[in-house]
Each structure stands twice: as structure tokens, then as C-alpha cells.
Amino acid sequence: MSTRKDSAYPAANYLNRELGILAFNRRVLAQAKDAANPLLERLRFLCIFSSNLDEFFEIRAAGLKAQINLHFTISTPDGLSAQDALEHISREAHAMVEEQYALFNREILPGLAARGIVFLRRSAWSEAQLEWVRDYFLREVMPVLTPIGLDPSHPFPRLLNKSLNFAVELEGTDAFGRSIDKAIVQAPRVLPRVIRLPDELCDCEYGFVFLSSVLHEFVGELFAGMKVHGCCQFRVTRNSDLFVDEEEVKNLRATIQGELPQRHFGDAVRLEITDNCSPTTASFLLGQFGLTDRELYTVAGPVNLVRLMQIPELVQRGDLKFAPFLSGTPPSVKKTQSIFDSIRASDILLHHPYQSFMPVIELLDQAAIDSRVVAIKMTVYRTGTDSVLMQSLLRAAQNGKEVTVIVELMARFDEEANIGWATKLERIGAHVVYGVVGYKTHSKMLMIVRREEAPSGSVLRRYVHLGTGNYHPKTARQYTDFGLLTCNDEIGDDVNEVFKQLTGLGLAKSLKHLWQAPFTLHSNMLAAIHLEAMAARAGKRARIIAKMNSLLEPGIIDALYDASNAGVKIDLIVRGVCALRPGIPGLSENIRVRSIIGRFLEHHRVFYFYAGGAEEVLLSSADWMERNFFRRIEVAFPILDKKLKRRVLNEGLRLYLADNRQAWEMDSVGGYRPHRTRGKLNNARCAQEELIALLKPVE
């Protein structure tokens, strides 16, 4: 079957999504290669690259493989088949992984060792270190291991997705006289992947050994009386996308809970082995997982570098990390004890992580205990397992507030945490709704209804927070996002209407300010682009600047091509994948695309249209992707306050267009080159560093 939508332009004018994601990961890998970054941060980027690649195989590559297995013919706008895409992916991913481990072994590890942070190989252990590691193995590791010899009564075990395992080649017979030549040892996830040696055993500041080295050295202890001929690490990556037929399901939460355990045992899509693995063992493992040589990745080091993410936290070396900074707080929030007073005085714009997420936490915290607050409504997409915001919602419900929470159960990899919060909220009487079947609730909205005195008497006033990022205090320190705090009546009415849609029944009413998916967001974005094109054709000033994570939706791309042909100057700041081809004469010569990769993950979505001088500025939780426009509940909200609008234009767009340190310019074939400053060093501009300085706390 074919699901490709017709487009106004030929397939050659669009770029492939999967290859675009890999191109983004290559830019992340470039941060690990950049010697200008502190060494422990380079290691962190290397781990982020590994984590991104894991998810890419779990979701994107797995999806392509499933299409092939099910004989689906899903033609994408770029026209690349699933089979062709997988072949391109294999070539590109193998090359990047080879670069990753070369960097790890030739620069990162030697660089750390030169600074007193040493990962000791087995061959370098002293007698005292060997004795300590042996004791550690016998005391902490061996009791939790379950070696599995492979024979007719012990088939190949069902291995968890991305778990660390060892394939052992043996010779001899076991206690029952069985001749066994292969065994599998699974390393439980409770075991640390990196172990720090006692200071007195090291002649360096930090001495570490890999768990894999420990197991490799003492694996013979698990097979008494048998000879070990070989031992190698391996890890299998599986399809981790949950499949829930929402049209058939009767209880979404129960269905997802039932599906979650199966996520760890989906179809295999990638096998990683260490370079000491024999061809025989490699072939055996490929056969067990039903994989081909194309899906085999041989690495020179630990098969899971993600677990080294803990090293920068364990090592207290500020000279090898980014300089710490304090998040600022808007002066208007500091002036009053009540956050409600601050919001009532004027709209408040928060720019994370440069400005603190605390005002949002304080808003909900104060609302939970304020006797004048009568109701709280909130959407939850990702919030974490130990969220202070969720604790405030629980406290509010216990204090008799009407608490309504729209929990998105299909938030990928956060399903279990969200189910846990939903269960706790329901137990204490909160209203928990799971959104709309068939649509993910991705919008970030919080509304607090408070009874207040006014000249006309007692009134109910709505206080609203709208954001581009999740209600997750941890990611608010790592992701760039905007949040708006307002008690504007018209915006409050719009937000209330969206909550009514999510919790009740009835037709959607028109909204005054918010653009909402799946109803008006796409059409309004198209209309705004078309208006700029019309202005340009009439010889008037026209301008579009947009910042987002991904640009894929064909209708938007076609409209941007038309606007470019009309003469509209268009700047797109797209962190991740962009399917539009910029800079093609007669098609997109007026479009420039750049990507910013730096210390923080660029996450906010900002949209600017000149609009005949009105200069519309909107923030949103939505990227320009089909799923955001048509399969999610999303909102885009305007910045009405002129002062705050100028801030968004400067902080969210102009500084990024001026960046010549962390920016990558995209070419017409999907390649990226670093946009580096020429000339003197004082010409360098880095948006993230400038924002740290601009929004730092005022003494």
C-alpha cells in the first residue's frame, strides 16, 4: 500500500528524514571531536551521541525494517524506499561508529589519563589492583550473575534490549558430564558499568576499571573445571516502539501497562560486539537474532558508551567541564512574595535554562496551598519520576482543589512514569484524563483558577503558563525553552477552551489567540507564509524567521518554496532534521538553514512573520512535522506584550542568526559545514554564551 501524499514539487526537492537524523547525530559527534570543548564535556557529547544512535535504531531503523517485513510500500516525499534508506543508514552509521571509537581511544581516554583520570586496562593492573578487583568480583559481581550454558535443555536466552552480555567460548564438561562449548553471561543492570578503585591503589587522581574488564578477567570463575577459549561483550538493540491499536482498545492505561514489558523484547535491529569476538561467535550471535552482516557493529571498546555518562558527575574537576552558571530570575518575580501578584502586574517571559524554572514551580506550589485557588488544570507529557510539580498537584488535590490532569500515556519512554503519576493522582481524587484517542497531547499548558476581589466584586481569574518545553525541572536546566506566565483574559479563555476539548465532548470553538493542532495550526501557519509571499509579490517588505527542532511537513515546505520564489527572505534555524533543500536557484535561493549545536539542547520553537509591520511572534510546543500538525494536540501562542516580543526576537532568533561559533550551515544536498568566524577572535559570536551573560542574576 502507498501512503505518500502528492506534493507540488518532485521528490528530488526533499531530503530523507532518517538520513537527516543521522546528519544531526554527526553534528553531535563533532562536539565530542571539538578540542575547544572541555574534555569531560567531550566525553559527555560522545555519550549523548551513543544515546541518540540507540534511539535511532530502536525507533527509526526498526520502523523501516518493520515496513519491509510487512511488505508495506510507504513512499516518503523524498522518494527513498525503506530498503534503500536502510542501506544508506548502514553505511553512514558504521562510519560514524568507527569515528566515535577512534576518538574515544585516541583522544578522550589518553587526554583524561594525562589529567589524572585513568581507565585501567587489565594488562596494566598491578598485583594489588588485581587482588582488589578479584575481591570485588567475588563479593559484588559473582553473586548476581547467572551463567547460561547452551545445550538442548538450555536454549539461547531471551535477552533484554541494550543489555550488556558476554558470549563465552568453552571447552570441557560440566558437573553433569555435559559437553558445552558456548555460554552466555548477562550483566544485570544493577551492576555499575564503571568501578572506581581505592585512591591508595592508584598513582593517579581517579582510577577506574570497566565492569566488562572485571568480567572478562574472572569469567573462568563461573565455569569451574572448564577451559575458557574466548569471551566477548555484545549488546542487541531491539524495536522499542509500542504498538497500541487505539481504535480497538477499551482501557488505554491497562493496554499500555500490558505492552510495556514487551518493549524490552522487540525484534532485533542491531548487534554490537567487541573486536576480540571470533568470527564463529559473531556468526552464531547474528543467527540467534536473525540479523545480517549489515546490522553488525564491531567496536573497539565497551559496547555501551552511554553508561559513561556518569563519569563527568563522579569526577570533581571543574577545569574539565563547562563553567557553572546561575540561572537568573525576572526582576518582576523578585519584587513580590506572591507569584500571582507578579503575573497580575504584567506578563512574564521565562527563557530556560538561562532563567530559572523556579517561578513555574512556585506558581504551582503556591496554588496548592492558596485558599483562594479553586481549580488547577495541567497537561503532562514528560515530567520525571520524582517531579516536584506532580507533588504539588497531589498536595492541591488533598487540600480540596479541583485538580484536572491530562496525562499523555503514549509519551515514548515515559509511559511507565506517567502511569505511576496518574495512579497516584486518581487515588487522592484528582480528575485524570488520558487525552483524545488517536492524538497525543503534546501541548504544555497550566491553568490556575483563583477567586479574587475586583472593583465589580468577587471574580474568578485565570492564571496561565504556556511553554515550548516539558514540565520537567531537570530538562529545564539542559534544554532551551520559553515559558509565558500571563493572566490575559483572552488567552485564559482560549486555554480553558482547549482543556474543555480534552476533558469533555462537543465541537471545537474558534480561539481568539491560540493556533491549535489538529484544527488551525497548520492552516494558520500556511496562511502566514502565504501572506508574506503576497506582500513580496506586491513589492512590500516580507520576512520569515522560524526556529524549531525538525522541519518535515511537505505542505509547509512547499509554501516556503513558493515564498522564496516570491522574494521572501527566509531564515530557518532547525536543530535536527530538515527535509527542505535551501539555496537552490529558482526554488529556494532565498532560504537559509542553520543548526545550532552546543552546551544546551536547542528545543524552543519560535515563529516570526513580518505581517505588514505587525511582526507576529509565536511560541509553540510543535515542530513543523506531520505528526505535530495532524496527530497531536498542540498550541502556538502569541507574545502580545511588545517588550517581551522584542526579547523573543533577540534571544530566540537574532542571536542565533549571528552565531558563528556553534552554527552549522546546511547546503542544498543536506550536508552541513560549520559556520566559523573569520578574522580576529573578538568577532566570535556564540548565542548560548551570550544568553548566559545577558540573563545572569542581577546583584
Check residue 335 and give its pLDDT: 72
Percent of the chain residues topping a pLDDT of 70 = 93
CATH second-level architecture of 516-694? Answer: 2-Layer Sandwich (3.30)
Given a cut of 50, whether residue 249 has pLDDT beyond it is no
284 burial level (CB within 10 Å; 0-12, 13-18, 19+) = middle
Given a cut of 50, whether residue 679 has pLDDT beyond it is no
CATH H-level, domain 331-507: superfamily: Endonuclease Chain A (3.30.870.10)
Strand partners, 446: 378, 465
Check residue 386 and give its pLDDT: 83
Element (H, E) at 342: helix 339-345
Give the separation between CA 478 and CA 359, rounded to whole angstroms.
17
DSSP conformation letters of 624-680: BSHHHHHSEEEEEEE--SHHHHHHIIIIIIIHHHH--SSEEEE-TTS-EEE-PPPS-
Tell me the per-residue pLDDT of 170-200, one tens digit each, with 9 for 90 and over. Answer: 988 777 777 788 999 999 999 999 999 999 9
Give the separation between CA 289 and CA 160, rounded to whole angstroms.
12
Element (H, E) at 333: helix 331-334
Tell me the per-residue pLDDT of 261-280, one tens digit each, with 9 for 90 and over. Answer: 555 568 999 999 999 999 99
Given a cut of 90, whether residue 289 has pLDDT beyond it is yes
Tell me the per-residue pLDDT of 613-657, one tens digit each, with 9 for 90 and over. Answer: 999 999 999 999 999 999 999 999 999 999 999 999 999 999 999
Under 8 Å between Cβ of 387 and 419: no
Percent of the chain residues topping a pLDDT of 90 = 76
Check residue 444 and give its pLDDT: 96
183 burial level (CB within 10 Å; 0-12, 13-18, 19+) = buried
Tell me the per-residue pLDDT of 549-574, one tens digit each, with 9 for 90 and over. Answer: 999 999 999 999 999 999 999 999 99
Check residue 243 and give its pLDDT: 55
> What is the amino acid identity at position 591?
I
Report which of residues 331 and 129 the model is more confident about. 129
Tell me the per-residue pLDDT of 291-333, one tens digit each, with 9 for 90 and over. Answer: 999 999 999 999 999 999 999 999 999 999 999 999 999 888 8
Under 8 Å between Cβ of 320 and 35: no
What's the mean pLDDT in 590-608?
Answer: 97
What's the mean pLDDT in 470-498?
Answer: 96
Under 8 Å between Cβ of 229 and 170: yes
Check residue 262 and give its pLDDT: 56
Mean pLDDT of the chain: 91
Cα atoms found within 13 Å of the Cα of residue 79, Cβ hemisphere only = 8
Please give the C-alpha separations between residue 509 and each of 497, 501, 519, in angstroms, as whole numbers.
7, 9, 10
Check residue 254 and give its pLDDT: 56
**Whole-prediction pTM:** 0.93
Tell me the per-residue pLDDT of 34-71, one tens digit each, with 9 for 90 and over. Answer: 999 999 999 999 999 999 999 999 999 999 998 888 87
User: Do the bridges between strand 632-638 and strand 616-620 make them parallel or antiparallel, or are there none, so unpaired?
Assistant: antiparallel
CA 13 from centre of chain: 28
Which three cell numbers, joined as nine digits, stand for 259? 505492552
Which three cell numbers, joined as nine digits, stand for 660? 558563528
Radius of gyration of the chain (CA): 27
Give the separation between CA 62 and CA 41, rounded to whole angstroms.
30
Check residue 106 and give its pLDDT: 97
> What is the amino acid identity at position 64?
L
CATH H-level, domain 11-320: superfamily: Polyphosphate kinase middle domain (3.30.1840.10)
**Do 331-507 and 11-320 fall under one CATH topology?**
no
358 burial level (CB within 10 Å; 0-12, 13-18, 19+) = middle
Please give the C-alpha separations between residue 94 and each of 64, 104, 267, 299, in angstroms, as whole numbers.
17, 15, 20, 10
Cα atoms found within 13 Å of the Cα of residue 486, Cβ hemisphere only = 21
Residues with a known catalytic role: 442
Check residue 376 and give its pLDDT: 97
What are the residue boundaries of the structural domains of the chain, listed by start? 11-320, 331-507, 516-694
